Amino acid sequence: MPSSDAEAATALKLQGNKAFQQHDWPTAVDFYTKAIEKYDKDPSFFSNRAQCHIKLEAYGYAVADATKAIELDPAYVKAYWRRALANTAILNSREALKDFKAVVKREPNNRDAKLKLAECEKLVRRIEFEKAIEVSDPPSAFEDLDIDSIVVDDSYDGVRLGNEMTQEFIDDMIQRFKNGKKIHRKYAFQIIKAVRDITYAEPTMVEVGVEKGTKLTVCGDTHGQFFDLLEIFRLNGFPSDTHAYLFNGDFVDRGSWSTEIAFLLYAYKWLRPNKFFLNRGNHETDDMNRAYGFEGECKAKYNERTFKLFSESFSALPLATLIGNKYFVLHGGLFSDDNTSLDDIRKLNRHTQRQPGQQGLMMEMLWTDPQPTPGRGPSKRGVGMQFGPDVTKRFCEKNGLEAIIRSHEVRMEGYEVEHDGRCITVFSAPKYCDTTENKGAYINIGPELKLEFHKFDAVPHPDIKPMVCFASPRL
């Protein structure tokens, strides 16, 4: 390889580093990719691109790039570290454990690595223990829950909640959350139980129209960014009898106000069950909640039972919403089998399986992603798969759809229209994890069923760091 190619590649790497420092992960990936095309013998090119993939949650790609860096230089510590982080993210704890051990062996004084190694060892032991005691049909978390017997003492300074949700309670709850306060444990349990009962009775695919004089707003991931959720309502209007909302999964994890978002969305669902809709996301699952903060947040702010109740309520959520017979809305994306139809979704009994598992329709609905090339490919995340524009076209034509609307991925402009207009991604967590310089977005749909895209910026919030965001070592 001529030295000029290596020099040109290094210059591209430096441009990638600059984009990374500006938190523009997609541009950084492009520069590192061009550097690799020029010269593919430098492990830092692959390791740096792996770090970008981690930021973009493309953990499968990150594992592949870190592995290539290690093949080029078996002593390259950053590559072991990044592969460990990526495997941790997709819950491959045993593989991550090997790499954390490799880092500590090479850098015995690395405190961060020793801490991560200890955490990973603890997690692996916990997984093995839970597997050993696992029962096939665990009892309901709501069993023996006597909400009526819980007393709200006189010192509670918030609005009281009776047997029905009220706008007054919601307004007070929003203000409490803004001030760093909690709602009473009794009210927390009431809200979760009410919404669990409502959503359990809904079909796996909810079918809604948009009546004259009303509109429906579709929002993507909010990930515990409570103050940005309030910004959506400030800009676009709060839920009302004439303004319906659909939140397309991933309400919780990562951000530090996941319980606040969950309680607010649930309260609106209880208040207006036919005008407020919730689809399940891949982060409304036990494994993800343990790894990305929601379980810990529930225990810290309320108690362990609160998490168990939320967990069971998450498994009751619908998996998709069909809007006006034109837009199929689900968190992840399409399927490994072209024969899958909307009728298959209608018939899917989500109540027989609380967690999505590693295969099947539920897993695909929560985890898959679009790709620009035709056909299907391995997942960049390391979970699920990817589907091309031809897959989307066939699904839409077969089912009489105009487009699918999904979330699940950061988009720098808050949304993206792909696959010849048939695949739309909307993401509603701007400045994701306080590190990505992305906008948020939401989609308004009126009676004519036309899509109206709106972008918005992140707003200031109290200085509490996201509960789980990967540290980014210097490139």
- pLDDT (tens digit per residue) in 171-224: 999 999 999 999 999 999 999 999 999 999 999 999 999 999 999 999 999 999
CA separation for the pair 460, 467 (Å, rounded): 17
**What pLDDT score was predicted for residue 361?**
95
**What pLDDT score was predicted for residue 128?**
84
Q: Is the pLDDT of residue 469 over 70?
A: no
From the list 23, 53, 223, 283, the catalytic residue is 283
CA separation for the pair 204, 353 (Å, rounded): 12
Residue 471's pLDDT band, with cuts at 50, 70 and 90, is very low
Q: Is the pLDDT of residue 475 over 60?
A: no
- 77-89 and 43-55 are packed helices; what angle lies between their axes, rounded to 10 degrees? 30
Query: What is the side-by-side order of every strand in the sheet holding 369-370?
Result: 369-370, 385-387, 376-378
Positive or negative torsion for Cα 298, 303, 308, 314: negative
3-state secondary structure of 308: helix
Share of the chain above pLDDT 70, in %: 97
Share of the chain above pLDDT 90, in %: 88
Alpha helices in 134-248 (DSSP H): 167-178, 185-200, 226-236
* Integer angstrom CA distances of residue 438 from 22, 63, 411: 11, 24, 7
Model pLDDT for residues 39-56, shown as the tens digit of each residue? 999 999 999 999 999 999
Model pLDDT for residues 300-320, shown as the tens digit of each residue? 999 999 999 999 999 999 999
CA separation for the pair 117, 104 (Å, rounded): 8
**Average pLDDT over every residue of 280-305:** 95
Cβ atoms 27, 18 nearer than 8 A: no
Q: Virtual CA dihedral for 160, 164, 166, 171, nearest 10 degrees?
A: 50
Q: In the structure encoding, which two tokens stand for residue 117, read together?
A: 């190694």
Q: Look up 283 and say whether it is catalytic.
A: yes
Residue 132's pLDDT band, with cuts at 50, 70 and 90, is confident
Model pLDDT for residues 370-428, shown as the tens digit of each residue? 999 999 999 999 888 999 999 999 999 999 999 999 999 999 999 999 999 999 999 99
Alpha helices in 183-337 (DSSP H): 185-200, 226-236, 258-271, 286-292, 294-301, 304-316
Residue reference for tokens 């619908």: 318
Residue reference for tokens 């930021």: 55
Q: Is the pLDDT of residue 474 over 50?
A: no
Q: Virtual CA dihedral for 410, 26, 358, 441, nearest 10 degrees?
A: 10
Query: How many of the other CB atoms lie within 10 Å of CB of 107?
Result: 15
Model pLDDT for residues 76-90, shown as the tens digit of each residue? 999 999 999 999 988
Q: In the structure encoding, which two tokens stand for residue 214, read together?
A: 């009303």
Model pLDDT for residues 5-18, shown as the tens digit of each residue? 999 999 999 999 99
Q: Output the CATH code of domain 147-456.
A: 3.60.21.10
* Integer angstrom CA distances of residue 72 from 26, 46, 69, 91: 24, 10, 5, 26
Burial (Cβ within 10 Å: 0-12, 13-18, ≥19) of residue 327: buried
3-state secondary structure of 206: strand
CATH 3.60.21.10, the chain: domain bounds: 147-456
Q: Give how far the C-alpha of residue 107 lies from the chain's centroid of Cα atoms, to the nearest Å.
A: 33
Q: Is the pLDDT of residue 467 over 80?
A: no
Model pLDDT for residues 18-40, shown as the tens digit of each residue? 999 999 999 999 999 999 999 99
**What pLDDT score was predicted for residue 466?**
76
3-state secondary structure of 226: helix
Residue 263's pLDDT band, with cuts at 50, 70 and 90, is very high
3-state secondary structure of 413: coil
CA separation for the pair 89, 101 (Å, rounded): 17
Q: Which of 70-74, 128-132, 231-235 has the lowest mean pLDDT?
A: 128-132
Residue reference for tokens 């570290």: 81
Q: Is the pLDDT of residue 229 over 70?
A: yes
Q: Output the CATH code of domain 3-133.
A: 1.25.40.10
List the one residue out of 38, 36, 86 whose CA is nearest residue 61. Answer: 86
Query: How many of the other CB atoms lie within 10 Å of CB of 129?
Result: 10
Look up residue 104 and give its amino acid. Answer: V
**What pLDDT score was predicted for residue 135?**
65
**What pLDDT score was predicted for residue 136?**
66
Residue 143 sits at φ, ψ, to 5 deg, of: -65, 135
3-state secondary structure of 296: helix
Cβ atoms 88, 96 nearer than 8 A: yes
421's torsion region: left (phi>0), alpha (psi -120 to 50) or beta?
Answer: left
3-state secondary structure of 76: coil
Q: In the structure encoding, which two tokens stand for residue 372, read together?
A: 């620009």
Q: Which of 86-100, 364-378, 458-472 has the lowest mean pLDDT?
A: 458-472
Look up residue 246 and give its amino acid. Answer: L
* Integer angstrom CA distances of residue 115 from 2, 79, 120, 369: 43, 18, 9, 33
* Beta-strand pair 385-387/276-279: unpaired
CA separation for the pair 275, 222 (Å, rounded): 19
**What pLDDT score was predicted for residue 2?**
57
Mean pLDDT of all residues belonging to the chain: 94
Q: Is the pLDDT of residue 242 over 80?
A: yes
CATH 1.25.40.10, the chain: domain bounds: 3-133
